[in-house]
């Protein structure tokens, strides 16, 4: 099987049955509750995960927890392999001891979900996963490290998904240094994913459903968390830490030169980092869940130019640009971008054979100016093989 031509979805979620049952048992957000459908009168389950969630939450059904539904979705869209992650809000809302125990159980559940699923060949399954860490206030370093070790010991888990709050003070908290060190040592990929968005007062009073929190709040949360990680020097201290950003890094690619300029003009920060802020975007991985070719091309350019901003000496001088040709830079960036769908979120509103979100993300990859077929194959699956060491 030509692994380089396979389609791999690295952004696809599950609420494992144990987690869904837990959400059903709760009476406050996050929770799953049942109500009579306003249209049919029949009972329907709904998901409430955001504070002040618009539209009475979202409809939720078996596609969120049934493995067969995930596999049907994969078959329908010709997705060969999925890297499945628990969906937000993970364990964020739990006391530390509960979060630790539930993380361990859910990691075992996800390993079983993957390992007992179908295979494509003797050494390639269709399902792999991202585990969970008990990242909540009062979590002890020991509990976090032992969970990193648990995930590292489960053969089908290739990384961890995490939100942006860390143990209460965000991801730039030095308390997390032992966690970054352990993740780096274990070679686990960190999938950084939003949940909280930004201050809801920014959305005004008009009812716009989930559009503003999902289209803007989510990506800005990722933008802020990643920027704080860069500013904290985490990527200087852990240069082999591999972090994959949801939704193509939000607004960070667009704002990265402004960020670099603000750093250079701030006496508190100007000499803190080893490199120009733009350099660190070339150390990150970006999903290709941006829904447009031009957006993907732009992200690819920003990754591809990052080497130009390596500091060669004490003065943070910009090195001579390698491959100044725009196409070469764009093609270099493609090596750090990976196809994803965000399934089972964004279900079509009407009956369709294929999900618009998937079709759009595939068409976006196909249409990127300057990417050749090898680059597109890399984004569709080849990069995932390399990043997650699949099939070996
Ligand atoms: N995508 C997600 O991963 N979570 C949401 O809540 C919505 C979209
Ligand atoms: Zn997602």
CA of 265 to the centre of ligand 2 (A): 35
Ligand nearest to the CA of 218: 1
Residue of 11, 13, 52, 53 best suited for mutating to test ligand 1, as the one with most atoms within 8 Å of CB: 13
Q: What residue's CA is closest to ligand 1, atom 1?
A: 345
Average pLDDT, rounded, for the chain: 95
Within a domain: 107: yes
191 ligand 1 Cβ < 6 A: no
Print burial letters for 243-277: b (CB count within 10 Å at least 16), e (below 16).
Answer: bbbbbbbbbbbeebeebbeebeeeeeeeeebebbb
- The whole-number average pLDDT for the span 358-377 is 98
> Which residues, other chains included, contact 17 with Cβ-Cβ below 8 Å and sequence gap of 6+?
65, 109
Within a domain: 287: yes
Ligand nearest to the CA of 49: 1
What is the pLDDT at residue 4? 65
**For residue range 245-255, what is the model confidence (pLDDT) as tens digits?**
999 999 999 99
Return the residue matching tokens 């250079």: 264
Within a domain: 136: yes
13 ligand 1 Cβ < 6 A: yes
In the chain, % of residues over pLDDT 90: 92
Within a domain: 110: yes
377 ligand 1 Cβ < 6 A: no
For the chain, strand residue ranges (E) read: 8-14, 31-36, 43-48, 58-59, 81-86, 119-121, 124-125, 127-131, 157-162, 189-192, 243-245, 285-287, 337-338
Within a domain: 22: no
- The whole-number average pLDDT for the span 223-227 is 99
- The whole-number average pLDDT for the span 14-40 is 95
CA of 311 to the centre of ligand 2 (A): 34
- The whole-number average pLDDT for the span 156-170 is 98
What is the pLDDT at residue 54? 84
**For residue range 166-207, what is the model confidence (pLDDT) as tens digits?**
999 999 999 999 999 999 999 999 999 999 999 999 999 999
Residue 314 scores a pLDDT above 80: no
Nearest ligand 1 atom to the CA of 210 is: 7
pLDDT band at residue 312 using 50, 70 and 90 as cut-offs:
confident
Return the residue matching tokens 């976006």: 364
**Strands laid side by side in the 285-287 sheet:** 8-14, 81-86, 127-131, 157-162, 189-192, 243-245, 285-287, 337-338
What is the pLDDT at residue 106? 99
In the chain, % of residues over pLDDT 70: 96
CA of 310 to the centre of ligand 1 (A): 34
Distance in angstroms (rounded) separating the CA atoms of residues 263 and 60: 43
| Size of the chain, expressed as the number of residues it contains | 392
- The whole-number average pLDDT for the span 152-158 is 98
87 ligand 1 Cβ < 6 A: yes
- What CATH number should be reported for the domain holding residue 131? 3.20.20.140
Range of the domain at 205: 3-16+64-388
Ligand nearest to the CA of 10: 2
Within a domain: 59: no
Within a domain: 58: no
Domain count of the chain? 1
CA of 313 to the centre of ligand 2 (A): 39
Distance in angstroms (rounded) separating the CA atoms of residues 148 and 140: 13
pLDDT band at residue 319 using 50, 70 and 90 as cut-offs:
very low
**For residue range 267-279, what is the model confidence (pLDDT) as tens digits?**
999 999 999 999 9
Within a domain: 350: yes
Number of neighbours of residue 130 by Cβ within 10 angstroms:
27
Q: What residue's CA is closest to ligand 1, atom 7?
A: 345
- pTM, two decimals, is 0.96
Looking at per-residue confidence, does 351 or 88 come out higher? Answer: 88
Nearest ligand 1 atom to the CA of 87 is: 3
């Amino acid at each position: 099987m030509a692994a380089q031509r396979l389609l791999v979805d690295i952004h696809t979620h599950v609420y494992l049955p144990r987690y869904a049952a837990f959400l059903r048992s709760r009476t406050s957000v996050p929770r799953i509750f049942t109500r009579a459908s306003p249209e049919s009168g029949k009972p329907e389950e709904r998901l409430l995960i955001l504070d002040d969630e618009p539209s009475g939450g979202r409809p939720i059904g078996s596609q969120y927890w049934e493995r067969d539904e995930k596999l049907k979705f994969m078959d329908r869209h010709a997705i060969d392999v999925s890297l499945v992650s628990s969906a937000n809000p993970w364990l964020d809302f739990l006391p530390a001891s509960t979060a630790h125990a539930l993380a361990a159980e859910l990691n075992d559940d996800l390993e079983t979900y993957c390992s007992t699923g179908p295979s494509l060949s003797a050494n390639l399954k269709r399902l792999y996963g991202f585990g969970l860490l008990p990242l909540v206030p009062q979590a002890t370093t020991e509990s976090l490290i032992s969970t990193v070790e648990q995930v590292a010991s489960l053969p089908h888990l290739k990384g961890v998904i995490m939100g942006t709050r860390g143990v209460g003070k965000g991801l730039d908290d030095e308390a997390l240094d032992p966690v970054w060190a352990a993740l780096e040592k274990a070679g686990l990929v960190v999938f950084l994913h939003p949940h909280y968005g930004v201050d809801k007062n920014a959305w005004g009073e008009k009812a716009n459903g989930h559009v503003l929190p999902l289209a803007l709040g989510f990506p800005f949360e990722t933008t802020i968390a990643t920027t704080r990680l860069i500013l904290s020097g985490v990527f200087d201290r852990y240069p082999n830490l591999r972090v994959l950003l949801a939704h193509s890094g939000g607004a960070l690619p667009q704002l990265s030169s402004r960020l670099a300029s603000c750093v250079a003009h701030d006496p508190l920060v100007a000499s803190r980092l080893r490199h120009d802020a733009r350099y660190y975007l070339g150390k990150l991985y970006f999903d290709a869940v941006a829904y447009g070719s031009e957006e993907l091309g732009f992200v690819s350019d920003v990754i591809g130019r990052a080497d130009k901003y390596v500091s060669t000496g004490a003065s943070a001088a910009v090195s001579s640009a390698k491959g100044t040709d725009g196409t070469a830079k764009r093609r270099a960036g493609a090596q750090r971008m990976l196809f994803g769908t965000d399934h089972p979120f964004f279900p079509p509103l009407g009956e369709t054979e294929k999900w618009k979100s998937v079709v759009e993300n595939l068409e976006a990859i196909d249409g990127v100016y300057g990417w050749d077929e090898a680059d597109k194959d890399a984004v569709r699956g080849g990069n995932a093989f390399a990043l997650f060491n699949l099939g070996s």
